[in-house]
Chains A and B, each alone.
Chain A
C-alpha cells in the first residue's frame, strides 16, 4: 500500500513545488495578493463601514470574502490546466509515472497555498480589532478556518473549469459563472423566490448547496460539522470532476 502511494506522492510533491514556484517566482501571486488585500480593505472599510459598527469584531471583513473569492480565485487557478493544454505540456504531464489525481491535487494545493498566503496577510485586521476592543478570538479563528475551506471550494471549481478549456479567459468566465451559482443559492432573495415557488424545504435544500450558507454560521462563531463536511466534499467533488475531465483527454 505504502509502495503504491509513493509514486503518487512523488508526483504530487513535485507538481506542487513546480506550481508554487510558477506563482511566486513570477509577479502572478504578488499581484493577486496585493489586489485582493486592497479590494478587501476597500470593501471592509468603505462598504462594510467597519468603524461605524462600533463593535470589536470582523463581521464587515468576513462578509465580503465569498464575493472576492468568486472573482479573484478563478484568476489564480485559470492558468493551471489551460496553460498546459495551450503550451502542449499536458502530454508531458500525463505521461509522467503518476495517476492523474495526484497531479490534479498537486496543482490545487499550490493554488490553495496562494489563497492561504493572502488570508494570512489579512491578519493585521485581527490585530487591529484586538487593539480596539475585546473580540471573540475563537469566533474569528473559526471564521478564518472556514474562509480558507471556502476558498478551497472556489479554487476547486476554477481548477475543474480550467480543465474544460484551453483558453484562460473562457476558464475564468466559466469559473465565475459556476461559482456564482453556488454562492447565489444561499442568498435570501433566491431562497425566498424558490421558497415561494417550490416551498420552504426546496429553498432550504438549495441553500444547503451554497458556499455562502455554510460560511455564515462560522462567522457567528458556530462550528458546524456539516459545514466542514460540505466544504471538504465540495472540494473533493470538483477535484474529482477535474480528474475525470483531464483523464477524458486520454480517450482522444
Chain B
C-alpha cells in the first residue's frame, strides 16, 4: 500500500533550480533511503513533502492527502524529523512531547498513553522529566524522533537521523528505526551508505535535483564491478565528473 507519492516536485531558489521534477513513492513496510551528495536537493525535497517549503510545481500525497490542497490532513499523517533535530531546549522531554501530542489533536489521556509509548520506543523514559537542554546529542535525537512518532503517523520522514552521533548512538537509533519499519513507511535521508545496506529495502538517488536511480541496494551494487555501494553512489552521482 502506497503511503507517500511524490509527483514531479520542482523547487527553485532564485535562479537556481534545486529540485527538478522529482517523483518516487514509498509503501507501507518499506524503509527507503534518500541518497545524494551535499546540495543535491534531498533536504529541499523532504521539506516540501513535510510542508515546510512550498513546491513551485508538483505535489506530495501522504496517505491520500495532498500537501498543497489538504495540508493539515497530510501533515497529520506524517512524522518529520528535520535536519539537526530542532527542539525546544527550555522544555522538559515530557512537556515537549505533550506539546506535540496536543498540537496533533490528542486528548489528555491519549497524549499520556502516546508519550509513554514513544518514550519507551525511543528509549527516553529515564529522562522524561529532564530539560532537553541538559541532554546529550544522542538523547536529543531520540527525543526528536519520539516527537515525530507521538501521533503514530503512517509515514516517517527522517532527515539525517544519525548525523553527528557516536557509533553506539548510531547503533541504537538504527535498531529503533528497524523496529518501526514493519508497520510504517519510512523515508530516510542519509550520507551513511552502511546505514542504507543495514536498514533500507530501497534507495532513491538524487543528484543535482534529479532522480538518477531508484532500486534496491543490491541492484545498485550490481551496477559496478566491485559490487560496492560506495562506488555505485560515486558513479551514479557523477562524482568523478564533479571532482
Q: Which of B44, B47, B99, B102 contacts A91 (CB 8 A)?
A: B47
Report chain A residues within 8 Å CB of B102: 10, 13-14, 17
Contact A88 B86 (CB under 8 A): yes
A94 to B147, CA, bound (A): 14
A-B contact count (CB 8 A): 79
Q: A21-B95, A91-B52, A252-B53 are in contact. Are A97 and B103 (CB under 8 A)?
A: yes
B180 adjacent to chain A (CB < 8 Å): no
A252 to B87, CA, bound (A): 21
Chain B residues 80-126 with CB under 8 Å of chain A are 80, 82, 84, 86-91, 95, 99-100, 102-105
Chain A at the B interface: SS class: helix
Contact B89 A7 (CB under 8 A): no
Size bracket, chain A contacts: 20 to 34
B129 adjacent to chain A (CB < 8 Å): no
Total interface residues on B, using CB and 8 Å? 31
A17 to B100, CA, bound (A): 12
Report chain B residues within 8 Å CB of A53: none
Report chain A residues within 8 Å CB of B72: 7-8, 97-99
B156 adjacent to chain A (CB < 8 Å): no
A26 to B91, CA, bound (A): 11
B152 adjacent to chain A (CB < 8 Å): no
A96 to B102, CA, bound (A): 11
Contact A250 B86 (CB under 8 A): no
A-B contact pairs, 10 of them (CB 8 A): A7-B76, A7-B105, A10-B105, A17-B102, A18-B88, A21-B95, A91-B86, A92-B82, A94-B51, A95-B80
